[in-house]
Amino acid sequence: MVAGAAGSGAIGLSLLFAAPAPAGATSFSVATEQLVVQLDASAEANPASVLAGLPGDPPQLLPGRRWATRLPLLEAAAVATELPSRHGVNYVSPVTPVQLAVAPTGAGAAGTNGWLGHLVARSAEGHNGPVGVGVVPNNPCYNASCGPSKPVVVEDPPLGAGMTIVHPNGQTDFWAIGAPQAWAVTKGSSRIKVAVLDTGVDPTQVQLRHKVIVGPDVCARDRPLCKDPYDANGHGTFVSGLIAAATNDGIGIAGLGWNTKVIDIKVLDDSGNGNTMDEATGIYDAVSMGARVINLSSTNAPCNVNPTACGPNEDQQAAVEYAIAHGVVVVAAAGNYDSASPVYPADYPGVLSVAASTDQGVVDPVNGGPYLDFSDYGGDANIAAPGINVLSTWYDGNYAVESGTSFAAPHVAAAAALVMAADPTLTGPQVATLLLGTATPLAPGGSTIAGGFLDVGAAVQAAKARDVPRALNGYQLVASNGAVYSAGMAAPEGSPKVHHLAAPVVAAVEAPDGLGYWLAAADGGVFALGRGARYFGGKAGSRLPAPVAGMAATPDGRGYWLVTTAGQVFAFGDARAYGSEARPGARVAGMAATPDGRGYWLVTTAGQVLAFGDAHNFGSASALHLAQPVVAVVGTLDGRGYWLVGRDGGVFAFGDARYFGGAAKLKPGQAVVGMALAPGGRGYWLAGAKGEVWAFGSAASGLSADAGAPSSPIVAIAS
């Protein structure tokens, strides 16, 4: 029943919830608040056991085991406080507003006062234009002026409907970020899809025909100005054109993604407003539709603007983490509040937060005055892209010029799609890291951000050359005395700063961003090394019932678990405990977390697999006649399978895990201690206690960890 559509799920459960007022009752207005409840896997089959008795409307089923309910305002706070304590509830999150990330009226406006020509001409200084540099498409507006009628009509929306202007010099934003150099390497792929979660798209726009996959109209269920999936605002069509307008077709503009396609998911209404619930639902829909990149050109307001609806939203953040855990690059506008205060979704960990700049890479330049004084900046924006007087497709069949971080973000989303086309084996985190690593320094004269200016040419060339970010292409070997040996990646982040460990190190896990790692000792001590790994606690000094055997981290890097040989699980940071297997005689060898961090597997030395939270059991090796005990379990990137590793180097694959080989037949002559996945999950390394490493599948062979003869036995390998 609950696996069906939202409406059918709500109807089927309606008798279990508070009934509506009887016919003929006096009507009156009651202030309400909408909440989203996410259930865990244990409650998925019987949601009424958790949600029965809630006041208000019957809950509506949403993607991601989520239920939406609207409650009287006076009761919503009590439900939000009490419901999370019920077994089977992951979170209860209020629904809060989001809106388009368009520059304020007047900021960056083209107008008729010459500012557009002045700014574009100034931003193009230092460029020789597109001719003779890389690939030059034949779209007339790419390398020449456009409007007001020839070759196309260019509108200026901030000045009013139908107002037209001339956009000079061509698409200088694309020249500035190295688009011609990128196109010389790849023109993208129709198999790489970018989900645009926005006001919809006009699929009849001549340069978007056959380039748009019309997805669900998510906001239709709760917003009167969202009655159909098409764009009656213009914003979504503009964003989509920057990414996927037909290129080299002899008309209009070029799209940065060239052959890239867009998935249109409408989450904002015709006025450009929406909410976190619809945006989160759109993210789940985008992942299920195969999007490799998600573009979010919307934000909430910072707390200094709207203190009652600011800050992170648990439902929205869980959806973002779900997408990132499934290998999707999430790109978001940094906001247009001229502030370093956080806005969301841009400020969630792992999101590429995009500031708007001039074509010269200046963010919020002092000499631009109020025309450029809008983009958010500071440590919360990690990359900049052109976002001032950008030219793109418009929803009435014409073209338009707009400014805002809304339009800087799709430059980065399209760049991510080109990088993936150049090397389809790259994972989402690798693509994000590569874009950040190849960005150029910002030009002086404006506000600072945490990162640099987008260089899609350099990023695509690095991807084609398989110059994967070193921090994500290799492994760390960890010895029992805490020594760490790095192979095929950046220099190691160090070893514990202690001369004598109270207990030997037994496990290690890499930080999700590849910029650090955690080590765990047998007594429950935890060591966080590198800027990507924070210390959230440990059990050192506590009386444990058994030694620690394994460790796993949450996908956002803000928490981790420890498990003992007896099966007790301890959660730290944002990690939640979903269960333990504490029983006499148990010999747990290790653990692995699911991609969304809402479950984990434990494996015993006998090969038995124990699944908790949203982890599914795909099989065990306990029925086999094992030559040696199992020492580790490693999950696949999508969470639909796992590998078990034996001390003799035997590998057992379950679910969608592929068997790429094992070391058992090689007679390694040393105990195998663990496995680390290669980029993309299409291979793995096995590590031996004496420091030898065996590569299988796509895992690079011949990497050297400079371990030589390690000073202590190797106990773990992490990647």
Domains contained in the chain, CATH given: 6-94 (3.30.70), 100-464 (3.40.50.200), 470-718 (2.130.10.10)
State the Cα–Cα distance between residues 182 and 422, nearest whole angstrom. 9
252, containing H or E segment: none
- Beta-bridge partners for 449: 378
Q: Which residues of 656-692 are buried (b: 16+ CB within 10 A; e: fewer)?
A: ebeebbbbbeeebebbbbbbbbbbbbebbbbbbbebb
Q: Active-site residue 198, yes or no?
A: yes
Contact indicator for 375, 362 with CB cutoff of 8 Å: no
Q: Which two tokens stand for residue 526?
A: 């935890």
414, containing H or E segment: helix 405-422
Q: Assign 3-class secondary structure to 425-460.
A: CCCHHHHHHHHHHHCECCCCCCECECCEECCHHHHH
Q: Which two tokens stand for residue 361?
A: 């890479």
Q: What is the pLDDT of residue 26?
A: 46
Tens of pLDDT, residue by residue over 22-31, are 344 444 455 7
Phi–psi pair at 645, nearest 5 degrees: -125, 130
**Ranges of H-type helices in 233-295:** 235-244, 276-288
Model confidence, pTM: 0.68
Contact indicator for 619, 655 with CB cutoff of 8 Å: yes
Tens of pLDDT, residue by residue over 58-92, are 899 999 999 999 888 888 888 888 898 888 898 99
By C-alpha distance, which of 704, 628, 572, 165 is closest to 401?
A: 165
305, containing H or E segment: none
Contact indicator for 316, 347 with CB cutoff of 8 Å: no
Q: Active-site residue 297, yes or no?
A: no
Helix-strand-coil split of the chain, %, nearest 5: 20, 25, 55
By C-alpha distance, which of 572, 609, 575 is closest to 589?
A: 609
By C-alpha distance, which of 590, 595, 576 is closest to 673?
A: 590
DSSP letters for 499-535: SS-SS-EEEEEE-TTSS-EEEEETTS-EEEESTT---
Q: What is the pLDDT of residue 490?
A: 41
Rounded to the nearest 10 degrees, what angle do helices 276-288 and 314-325 cross at?
Answer: 20
State the Cα–Cα distance between residues 590 and 592, nearest whole angstrom. 7
Phi–psi pair at 61, nearest 5 degrees: -75, 130
Q: Longest C-alpha distance within the chain, in Å?
A: 85
State the Cα–Cα distance between residues 234 and 356, nearest whole angstrom. 19
State the Cα–Cα distance between residues 702 and 437, nearest whole angstrom. 25
Pick the catalytic residue: 406, 447, 480, 620? 406
By C-alpha distance, which of 510, 592, 500, 494 is closest to 549?
A: 592
Q: What is the pLDDT of residue 131?
A: 40
Residues with pLDDT less than 70, the chain: 1-30, 103-133, 365-374, 378, 468-473, 488-500, 513-515, 531, 582-586, 680, 702-709
Q: Which two tokens stand for residue 210?
A: 């056959």
Q: Which residues of 108-126 are buried (b: 16+ CB within 10 A; e: fewer)?
A: bbbbeeebbbebbeebbee
Query: Tell me, what amino acid is at 712?
Result: S
Contact indicator for 715, 689 with CB cutoff of 8 Å: yes
Relative to beta strand 641-646, strand 651-655 is antiparallel
Q: What is the pLDDT of residue 109?
A: 45
117, containing H or E segment: helix 115-123
Pick the catalytic residue: 40, 156, 173, 198? 198
Cis peptide leading into residue 545 (ω within 30°)? no
- Beta-bridge partners for 646: 630
Phi–psi pair at 423, nearest 5 degrees: -145, 90
Contact indicator for 154, 397 with CB cutoff of 8 Å: no
Q: What is the pLDDT of residue 20?
A: 39
State the Cα–Cα distance between residues 432 and 50, nearest whole angstrom. 38
Phi–psi pair at 273, nearest 5 degrees: -110, 155
Contact indicator for 315, 353 with CB cutoff of 8 Å: no
Relative to beta strand 273-275, strand 97-100 is antiparallel
Pick the catalytic residue: 235, 373, 614, 648? 235
State the Cα–Cα distance between residues 443 and 384, nearest whole angstrom. 11
Instruction: Classify 7 in phi/psi space as left (phi over 0), alpha (psi -120 to 50) or beta.
Output: alpha
Q: Which two tokens stand for residue 302?
A: 């910072």
State the Cα–Cα distance between residues 638 and 284, nearest whole angstrom. 14
State the Cα–Cα distance between residues 646 and 651, nearest whole angstrom. 6
Q: Active-site residue 210, yes or no?
A: no
- Beta-bridge partners for 602: 591, 610
Q: Which residue do the tokens 């790692």 mark?
A: 517
Q: What is the pLDDT of residue 641?
A: 94
State the Cα–Cα distance between residues 209 and 332, nearest whole angstrom. 25
State the Cα–Cα distance between residues 460 and 467, nearest whole angstrom. 10
User: Computed over its alpha carbons, how large is the radius of gyration of the chain?
Assistant: 27
- Sheet of 651-655: strand order equals 630-635, 641-646, 651-655
By C-alpha distance, which of 245, 114, 117, 115 is closest to 174?
A: 245
State the Cα–Cα distance between residues 693 and 682, nearest whole angstrom. 17
State the Cα–Cα distance between residues 680 and 697, nearest whole angstrom. 11
State the Cα–Cα distance between residues 390 and 403, nearest whole angstrom. 6
